[in-house]
Structure formats: C-alpha cells, structure tokens
Amino acid sequence: MSGNERESDNADADAAPEPTSGAAAIAGIVKRLPNAPGVYRMIDNAGEPLYVGKARNLKKRVQSYARPTGRNNRIARMIRATAAMEFVQTATEAEALLLEANLIKRLRPRFNVLLRDDKSFPYILIAEDHAAPQILKHRGARKRKGAYFGPFASAGAVNRTINALQKAFLLRSCSDAVYDSRTRPCLLYQIKRCAAPCTGEIDAAGYGELVREAKLFLSGRSRAVRAELGAAMERAAERLDFEQAAVFRDRLSALSHIQAHQGINPQTVEEADVFAVHQQAGQTSIQVFFFRTGQNWGNRAYFPRADKSLGEAEVLESFLTQFYDDKPVPKLVLLSHDIAERALLAEALTARAGRSIEVRVPQRGEKKELVDHALLNAREALGRRLAETSNQVRLLEGVAEAFGLDETPRRIEVYDNSHIMGANAVGAMIVAGRDGLAKSHYRKFNIKSAELTPGDDYGMMREVLGRRFSRLMRDAARRDETGDDEAMPAWPDLVLIDGGRGQLNTALEALAEIGIDDVPLVGIAKGADRDAGREKFFTADRDSFMLPARDPVLYFVQRLRDEAHRFAIGAHRARRSKTIGATPLDEIAGVGPGRKRALLRHFGTAKAVSRAGLADLEAVPGISAQIARTIYDHFHEGG
C-alpha cells in the first residue's frame, strides 16, 4: 500500500462520522438496552418527539424496529425519521402503560393516536365546609370538603341537573360571602328554588334533611327519596295542609324532570363508563357514556387523531389509556371492541384507582344493549362530522378559487386588533381548517412595543405578524414536518387581514422583513356603511374585488372575520379587566393575593395602605413586621 493511500485511510478515519437516522440509528441503540419493561421515545433530527411507546421488554421491542422488512407505511416513515431515542425503565409493564399515556398527552407525538379534546369533566359538589351546605358545579382538583357526584358529560348537563335539584331539594347555590351577608330571603326563595337557611326560613335540622335527601338521590337512591316525598305529601294532605302538600308535589315533579332527561337508566349497571368506536372514511369516532349510581349522566363524542392504517381496536386501546390519565375510573369499563391488552389495562387502572377495576366486552344482556346504544351514537356522530367536513372542504375549495390559490388551503389564519384609544391593545389570531374552527390553535398577542403611537393599527399588525412568523421561522423544520395526512399544518396556506389596502401592504412589508414572500395574504375591508355582504377584498397582485352577494364563500369569510373580531374583543376585555383590578400593591415583593386582600380589607383602598404608618401595617392580620417594613419602604422613599 502506498503512503498516499495510507494518508487517505487515516484522513477517512479522523473525519467526523455522518449522523445516522432510521434503522441504522436504532440498531446502534439496541445494544445498550435492558431486558426490562419501560417507555421509549423516538425523536427526529430537530429534537421533536415522533412516537411514544411502551414495552414489556425494551430491548426486544426496539430491536424489532431495526429489522429492514415487515413494516407498513406509517411505521416505515416513523423509523426513517428517527434520529435518536430516549428511554425510561419501569418496574412493571402496567406502570409503563400509565407513563406512556402521560407522555403522549404531554408531548403529542405526531405518530401516536392523540386525544384531541381533553377538557376536564364537570361534577356536582355539595360543599360541606359551611353550616348550610351549598350545591354548585365543580371542575378540577377536589380540594374543597364535600360530596362530589359525577362526572357529567357537559356543563349544560350539570347546570340543568342543578336547576332541577334546586327545585326538588331547595338547596342554596349562593356563595358563602353572599349567604353571610343576607338580611332577607333572595329571589330564589320567592320562586321556590331555595329554602333560605340564610335568614332562618328553615332551621338547621330541616335544611340538613334536605341535604341528606339530595345526597341520597345523587347516590342512586332515587326510589327511596321519591317514596319519602310521596308519603310526606300524603300526610300533609290528610291533615288538610294543602300548601305543604303542593310543595312536596312540586319537588316530586322536579325529580321526574331530572330522570326524564337522562334517557337510558340501567337496572343492572350501578357505575360504568361505556366506550364505543366506529371508523369510516379514514376517521374515527369514539362515544363515551357515563353511568353513575344507576343513572345516565350524559355522553360525549371524541374524534381522536389517528393514522388511517390503525384499526378500531388499536385506536380505542390508545385512547383509553390517555382518557384515564387524569380522570377517576369507575368500577366497570365496557367496550364495543376487544383490545389486545385489556387485562394489562385493567391491571394498570386498578393500580391507579387503588381498587378493583373491570374492563369487559359484553356479549349479551343489558350491558350489551348499553354498548350497542353507544355504538349507534358513535356512528351517527361520525356521520354528522363527515357531512360537516364535506361542506367545509367545498368551502375551502371555493376559497382557493376566489383568491387564486394553487391548492385548497388546509390552514387559514385570520388576524384582528382590539383596543380603546390605544389602551390595552391586543392582537388576535384565529385558525380554521377542514374541521372548521380550530380553537386550540387560537393565539392572542399583547402589544408590547413602547414605540407605537396609541391607536396605530398598522404598527400593531406589523408587531403581531412579525412575532408570529418570526417564531415559525426560528423552527423552519416545522414547515415540512407534517405530511398529507395532517389536517392542520403548522404554517398557514392563507392569511386574512381585517383591513384594506393599507393593512395589506403593512402585512406584506412585515413578512418581507422576515424573508417570507410565499404566504398568500388577503385584506378584507368592510363595505359602505359597514354593511355585511359589500366587503372588498385586496390581494398583492390584483385590483380590489367583491364576491357575489350570496356566495357561500363570502358568508364563510364573514364568519371567520367575525370570529376573529369576537376573539380579539374578548382578549382586550380580559386584559382591560386585569388592568382595572391592578393596584400598586401588586408591585411589592412578598405581597401576594392573600396579603393583598388582608390589606384592602383592613384599610379599604390601596391609597390608604400607601399612607399607613408602620405600626398600622403591622396590625393587619397576616402581615409580619418584616413584610410591613417592606410595604412601608415601598411607599416612602426616605424609609
């Protein structure tokens, strides 16, 4: 071998190795993995999570990804994009299943099934931290002492039930502060929806009996409660106390109203969640029904994001672990489709709940009827969604034609500003796509520039667009991270600006400064006398134009503009309210909401606090000598 050849070989050896991705990168990782359960994350070159999975044996599972064959398109794309992997070893596979669900919800990897609507469920709370318990709607952590009943499928279902329960049991719904300040009964007492314990219209024992009956009813003892009320009504009638009998009659009627609006009320199922899944046209619908204390407390439809290659059972399995990541689990979970790891799911849910949880696929009887009913609702919900999506796609195609776009837009962004004489200025962005308004993508921008002239709408739009697209440019890889199967890409295919030629030119200049010239922009100017239907549209490459008065695309664009206006006004009002509630006390280190309330309660106003002496400040409950000195020094430069 010649010297030159040896030098060439040494140079090759010293050169930095090319970064690997795909199966080669995964193969290099396998050697270091344990034969133990755990969770793995697949990560792309940009550091974004691609997929989160769990395994009974990490080494064997990851080794399977390094094999060159036997992959469907989804898995093959995922493997090709993988540049690195991260791992968490767990004690058991059930623990890995729970951790996997938590990471999927937090990281939202694009190759996992994603639970898109994950709002918390409302409950009914009968609060017991007061001598006269209050009935109210509750969301979130259960920190307040009392009895919780739920979950209910929607806030509307809770509100309707509480309204009916007030008529049936006359429980108070006012806050403790309002209760303690009453000197005479309120309107709810006059319309027979509260027993008015605040002013002694009912004694403590009588009100306690109403609370007991309400708890019994919400605990599934509705027949016993109805029997007690019926007997009380008959006794009142026998002693010719027809006014009292009428009260019991009205309460019974209210109970009947509650149960009449609950639909199916099973006889053999005390506590269960029922899940049914249906797929059609590449989309998945999952219907969830809640049964508690033998009563139907509503249902909700979900449309998880999932690859078209995944079957119904696979989507349902991944959905269930995410669904119960932060929700209480009933004793029984009923499924329309059997899932591969049903026993493991039951084990994991049992470990989390601290009591036995059963996951079943019923084959006969009332439980099967409940599942079939949920499945019917899943089919109907998906049918409605597909019809709405079809209409939406036609509208988007019309938008492409009206504004000369090369392709049907998948993401439309609409921008608007809101302020009063330049004060509390807020910019707003709403987003729409083939599924309609995408509220999880909405953004608001508090105008920050101190150089803007108050009321300068052009300057506000320049700042908003500059901040929005600069952030996208900082992560340019996101522009290509979504494939054709993504309904909502990161970058907009069309930007609508509320304003005429001036606003459009400002927007074009703002994007040009960032180096963006390929995002279509359209300005929407209100018609003469601000009449809807007479809007003029402005684009960079043509004269202003109008759409036909009854064009569906015109109505669609009007709805988008109005939604952006509504969102901008709401953001502005929220910021203005926050400013109105601000006081000089907010600027003092160590004075939080509790101490702020104590000071204002003691002195009345922030101005009075600023004038108070050191001894007066130290006399306020909860204000230590050190904090009092801090507050005093804040308002007195000379100390």
What are the beta bridge partners of residue 279?
284
**Residue 44, exposed/middle/buried by CB under 10 A (0-12, 13-18, 19+)?**
buried
Are residues 294 and 327 in contact, defined by beta-carbon separation less than 8 angstroms?
A: no
Q: How far is CA 45 from CA 24, 28, 49, 83, 337, in A?
A: 14, 16, 10, 5, 37
Are residues 599 and 591 in contact, defined by beta-carbon separation less than 8 angstroms?
A: yes
**Residue 405, exposed/middle/buried by CB under 10 A (0-12, 13-18, 19+)?**
middle
Are residues 41 and 51 in contact, defined by beta-carbon separation less than 8 angstroms?
A: yes
Tokens of 49: 């999570």
Q: Are strands 49-55 and 38-43 parallel, antiparallel or unpaired?
A: antiparallel
The distance from CA 531 to its chain's CA centroid, rounded to whole angstroms, is 35
- What's domain 403-478+486-578's superfamily in CATH? UvrC, RNAse H endonuclease domain (3.30.420.340)
Torsion, Cα of 324, 330, 331, 335 (10° steps): -60
Taking the CA of residue 497 as centre, how many other CA atoms within 13 Å lie in the half-sphere pointing to its CB?
A: 27
Tokens of 15: 């050169």
- Burial of 334-352, coded b for 16+ CB within 10 Å and e otherwise, reads bbbbebebbebbbbbbbeb
Are residues 280 and 292 in contact, defined by beta-carbon separation less than 8 angstroms?
A: no
The distance from CA 178 to its chain's CA centroid, rounded to whole angstroms, is 31
Side by side, the strands of the sheet bearing 283-292 are 295-302, 283-292, 272-280, 332-335, 358-360
Q: How far is CA 533 from CA 169, 555, 583, in A?
A: 52, 8, 45
Q: How far is CA 306 from CA 51, 283, 302, 318, 439, in A?
A: 12, 8, 12, 10, 19
Place of tokens 């036997």: 70
In which residue ranges of the chain is pLDDT below 70? 1-21, 68, 70, 117-119, 220-224, 226, 241, 244, 254-265, 420-423, 450, 452, 455, 475-487, 527-533, 577-583, 637-639
Amino acid at 191: I
- Element spanning 419, H or E: strand 412-420
DSSP 42-109: EE-TTS-EEEEEEESSHHHHHHHHTSSSS--HHHHHHHHH--EEEEEE-SSHHHHHHHHHHHHHHH--
Domain edges within the chain: 23-107, 123-260, 272-289+301-384, 403-478+486-578, 584-635
Non-local CB neighbours of 9 within 8 Å, separated by 6+ positions: none
Per DSSP, the chain holds a count of helices (H) and strands (E) of 21, 19
Are residues 147 and 128 in contact, defined by beta-carbon separation less than 8 angstroms?
A: yes
Q: Decide: helix, strand or coil at residue 172.
A: strand
Taking the CA of residue 47 as centre, how many other CA atoms within 13 Å lie in the half-sphere pointing to its CB?
A: 2
Q: Are strands 521-525 and 494-498 parallel, antiparallel or unpaired?
A: parallel
In the prediction, which pLDDT does 488 show?
A: 79
Are residues 40 and 101 in contact, defined by beta-carbon separation less than 8 angstroms?
A: no
Q: From the CB of residue 625, how many other CB atoms can be counted at a distance below 10 Å? A: 11
Q: What is the CATH number of domain 23-107?
A: 3.40.1440.10
- Burial of 222-234, coded b for 16+ CB within 10 Å and e otherwise, reads beebbebbeebbe
If phi > 0 it is left, if psi is from -120 to 50 it is alpha, else beta; for residue 579 that is alpha
Fold type of domain 584-635: DNA polymerase; domain 1 (1.10.150)
d(CA 199, CA 189): 10
